[in-house]
Chain A
Amino acid sequence: MSSLELLTWARGPALQAALVIFIIGMLIRVLEILLLGRKTDLTRARAGQMGPGLRTIFSRSLPVSGTWKQHLSGYLWHIGFIVVLLFYAPHIQLFKQGFNIAWPALPTSLIDIITIVTMAALVFSLSLRFTDPVRRMLSTVGDYFSWLVTFLPVATGYMAFHNVGPDYTLVLALHIMSVNLLLVVFPFTKLSHAITFLFSRWYNGANAGRKGVRV
């Protein structure tokens, strides 16, 4: 198999299959949670739940004193990842030709800098896991795996853009394969928090609100 054949397969049938697994997997995860429902709470509500629920979704993202390092690195890579994913011109082409939606791209040189920052922040987050004893104890193989499948698309994308490595075609194929891998494992690892965090935070906030706790 030549690198072009690998690339054609990666951006063709493999991407299509990965996307299908991602969507079906995420829908199963989400509907599973939503359809199970909760027992009706028979206590008298002390306050509304919708407001606190929605507020908590955002407030839990705010930094807490003493943890600024992980918060900063967390912000940097989450935002960087999304910006590069959505605003790099070749990525927009995928959305345009795949789903017929497009928007303006950011300059490539800016994307380049954001990618470096994203990689650095991801590496820093990993180093925190290694160095902080509590975090090291809490970390499972799944956590390291989730880190790896998140890091690979960024690193291979950077390599492809800068023509690092033996062959651009091969590196680009590996980049797309790493994205496919991310899509496939997404619903079945902690990465699914990208959607489920909305429900869990809302639930916690709403619960507290109902009990009259200020959030």
Chain B
Amino acid sequence: MKQDETLAEHLQGQGISRRGFLKFCAATASMLALSPGMAGAIADALGKARRPSVIWLSFQECTGCTESLTRSHNPSVESLILSAISLDYHHTLQAASGTAAEEAREQAMHDNKGEYLLVVDGSIPTGAGGGYSTIAGISNLQMLEETAKDAAAIISVGTCAAFGGIPYANPNPTGARSVMDLIHDKPIVNVPGCPPIPIVITGVLSHYLTFGSLPELDNLNRPLSFFGDTIHDRCYRRPFYDQGKFAKTFDDEGARNGWCLYELGCKGPTTHNACATAKWNNGVSFPIESGHGCIGCSEPNFWDAGSFYQAISSSPEDLSRAATGAIIAGAAAGAGVGLYNKYKQSRAKDKHYTVTTKDMEDS
């Protein structure tokens, strides 16, 4: 795509029809919880938009987030947006390597100073002076700070970049931190998920391209239009939850009847994400529809929240061991206190002497 081409022109060149493009705009409007009338405005704005420069930095991650974005079907909204932006630097997707790759980043930073979007996936190791992960001899922390400095905004893609994710899980040997922990002077949007839903990534990008601003965010910096509701709020198994009908194992009658997966550890009630509405694999289904409970992947610290198969109302700690210990300690302490009281009682008795009327008359 040529630098000065508009998105509409570029898409036409790619063989994407006007109809396909409008469909994408309508889908984006609805996903962003905008009124259907806004689809036209999005189409207008996107059509005229010049492709913005995007620098994508990958730190401590598993590439699942990039996989999520690219594992979409053609012609998909994702690939459409991917070709619409100028992805000037992306470890996994770019052809260049070595010095050339680093030069591309510096070039993009220089040419689009103050205007480029910075996308980050993966958490940033801060232990050992940043030595746990380096790219071209630069530590992740350094690269983030350097690139964030002139960015217009930062999009943290995936739970690792947004909240620390699995590298941050106890005991966090690399001192992993989230982008939000380290950068405080830039607008940051978190698009958590392990991995995040592709349309949420593209939705945020589209919003930025259309309105020149970031969408409305919740208290964890997640776009409200995608993370405003919990999985449980939108779950099609919810009527069974309300009736108290729960699957007890993954293959019992309840499971076959599609009952609620709460007792099998579903974290839907405490998880804010759009899986139940946006779904996965091009809208085929989402985990709960495939019979597995939500593991809460878009929430901070979900790796440390106990087993995926434990109901939210149960405790991740070993309660029976704690109770046994407490019974032994309590019995010992109770016996101790009881015997001490008895001792006090008998001492009081010993000190007690009987006063007769004669004693009183004498005194």
Chain A residues with CB under 8 Å of chain B are: 2-5, 7-8, 11-13, 15-16, 19-20, 22-32, 34-37, 89-91, 93-94, 96-100, 105-109, 111, 163, 168-169, 172
Contact = CB atoms under 8 A, between A and B. Distances in A.
Nearest to B232: A168
Interface of B: 220, 230, 232-233, 241-244, 246, 262-263, 269-270, 296, 299-302, 304-306, 310-320, 322-323, 325-327, 329-331, 333-335, 337-339, 341-342, 345
B338 A36 contact: yes
A93 B311 contact: yes
A23 B330 contact: yes
Overall SS of chain A's interface: helix
Contact of A105 (B244, B305, B318, B345): B244
A35 B182 CA distance: 59
Which of A8, A36, A97 has the most chain B CB atoms closer than 10 A to its own CB? A97
Contacts of B312: 7, 11, 90, 172
A107 B246 CA distance: 11
B235 to A, nearest CB: 13
A168 B167 CA distance: 27
Nearest to A17: B322
B245 to A, nearest CB: 9
B338 A109 contact: no
Given A23-B327, A35-B342, A89-B244, 4 more contacts: A4-B301, A4-B302, A19-B319, A93-B314
Contact of A98 (B262, B315, B337): B315
Contacts of B335: 31, 35
Contacts of A5: 300-301
Contacts of A25: 330
B337 A28 contact: yes
B335 to A, nearest CB: 6
Nearest to A2: B300
Given A31-B337, A94-B313, A108-B243, A36 B345 contact: yes
Contact of A8 (B242, B301, B313): B301
B269 A107 contact: no
A5 to B, nearest CB: 5
Contacts of B311: 90, 93-94, 97
A98 to B, nearest CB: 3
A37 B341 CA distance: 10
Contact of A30 (B314, B315, B334): B334
B317 A16 contact: yes
Contacts of A90: 262, 311-313
Given A36-B341, A93-B311, A97-B314, A4 B300 contact: yes
Contacts of B331: 27, 31
Contact of B316 (A4, A8, A31): A8
Contacts of B270: 3-4, 7, 168-169, 172
A28 B333 contact: yes
B326 A12 contact: no
A98 B325 contact: no
A24 to B, nearest CB: 4
Contacts of A91: 313
Contacts of B323: 19-20, 23, 98-99
Nearest to A10: B315
A69 to B, nearest CB: 33
Nearest to A161: B242
Contacts of A13: 317
Contacts of B337: 28, 31-32
A36 B339 CA distance: 7
